[in-house]
Structure 1
């Protein structure tokens, strides 16, 4: 290509309309032309970036400050509530091991070892939570009156393991819903009108530890007399209704303690 032809080609390209360039790109090209100096372009980008970050930081700081203030009030209120109840109910003869939300109770009696395992996460009873919410609404509407509030009750599912000679018999239990027992075995009222606090949902027996191959059976399928005898078996070992009541008391206090601790951790996190 001759020198003259090359000059004509470049002139044609410069005069050709930029039909495929978007408005955004045109603005960028205009910005680059007016700021051909690299230092000027860097300054413009830095100022824009600073404004965005500063606005985001200011908004975040305000939200964090409001949350921290709210959490401080919530922690004080929950701590006062915690002081009015037992923080660590004990089980006579049981050793207690706490692993965050997980609780393990152990006991040895003769040739048998007992282990009770439960987790307080998502254990608050729905009925007690609804009742608590209703009472709190009444309290909020009657600020000048002294209204005593109830508290949500922790009713976790729990596993009882009876171990003897390497054999483990496991009972998978849950708390009975108040006023809603069905015909059949579980938590039905007896002839005196008494109903059990808990029910046995499932049983299994295995060597050393439970695996996916271990067989278990739901208690819905058991004969009523057999189910009652299983209940009596736990009752004789001090793992019946009285134990279930103490477990709910312990779990409620411990769950509340973990909740207050969580609020403190959140406050410390956003304040750091």
Structure 2
């Protein structure tokens, strides 16, 4: 059987270069073999890893794929550039359309004030304060454009291959308040579409025997209250009104200038005003994405 010294020499053939020479007569401590083994292991690791570490490139020359944040920034720069190009074209087209429209549209007999998307029309009538309020948000729709001054274009539109021309029109619902003697008459009105006109005619409303006249709006709700309107204020739905009562309310509004002619001017004004708000929104966005 080999002695402990032979085992140590077999396991650590290079221990002389790492340990102090000890004479054969002296006794080594029990931890000597473990210490020598740890020293050899460390030396072996240094001998193997040191050349590999020396071969690594310096920090400044490390190459790797772009991080997620860097990729996201690059994508954002690209998307912002594309958005800026689109905005420049869209703003130019909308401003040209505004120039072609001409001067601002007026609503006869009413003073107009605006606050972003809110538009208010006011006037006095025989001691009554009449106020019409609209909001142009979510009120734009596309409708077929009518061009009576260009018959050739109309003929082209009639061909099956020609796409129909449309224009954007703002048709907001509106509320009317009539204040007199401390009392307020409140009307919630909505604009009628062609299919809604047909339904009203079938119900016997908005039809006159003297002339073929159709209202461009309907009364959805009606209420009368004193002071401020509250949640508990009674409101009558236009769907359940007596036909004569409904017609009398429409006549009251007509006498105060709230009729189909007013609605036409309202639509023209709101269409132009909403387009200006749209251009302003695009310009504000351009200020954000423009490089």
| Aligned position for 1:193 | 212
Matches within 5 A, 1:116-155: 116-125=132-141, 128=143, 131=144, 149-155=165-171
Q: Verify the 8 A CA contact 1:118 1:159 in the aligned structure 2.
A: yes
| Aligned position for 2:263 | 244
Aligned length: 224
Q: How far has the Cα of 1:49 moved from its partner?
A: 10
Matches within 5 A, 1:106-121: 106-121=122-137
SS at match of 2:185: strand
Q: Verify the 8 A CA contact 1:174 1:200 in the aligned structure 2.
A: yes
Q: Provide the C-alpha distance between the structure 1 equivalents of 2:241 and 2:273, rounded to a whole number of angstroms.
A: 34
Q: How far has the Cα of 1:86 moved from its partner?
A: 4.4
CA 193–94 in structure 1, closer or farther in 2 if over 3 Å, else same: closer
SS at match of 1:172: strand
SS at match of 1:153: strand
Q: Does 1:73 align with 2:89?
A: yes
Flag structure 2 segments of 5+ consecutive residues without an equivalent.
1-30, 35-49, 51-58, 146-152
Q: Provide the C-alpha distance between the structure 1 equivalents of 2:185 and 2:65, rounded to a whole number of angstroms.
A: 65
Q: Provide the C-alpha distance between the structure 2 equivalents of 1:47 and 1:112, rounded to a whole number of angstroms.
A: 79
Q: Provide the C-alpha distance between the structure 1 equivalents of 2:65 and 2:128, rounded to a whole number of angstroms.
A: 69
Q: When the two structures are superposed, what TM-score results if normalisation uses the length of structure 1?
A: 0.72
CA 221–185 in structure 1, closer or farther in 2 if over 3 Å, else same: farther
Flag structure 1 segments of 5+ consecutive residues without an equivalent.
8-33, 35-42, 140-144
| Aligned position for 1:14 | none
Q: Provide the C-alpha distance between the structure 1 equivalents of 2:225 and 2:134, rounded to a whole number of angstroms.
A: 19
Q: How far has the Cα of 1:52 moved from its partner?
A: 3.3
Q: When the two structures are superposed, what TM-score results if normalisation uses the length of structure 2?
A: 0.67
RMSD of aligned residue pairs (Cα, Å): 3.4
59-68 or 201-210, which deviates more: 201-210
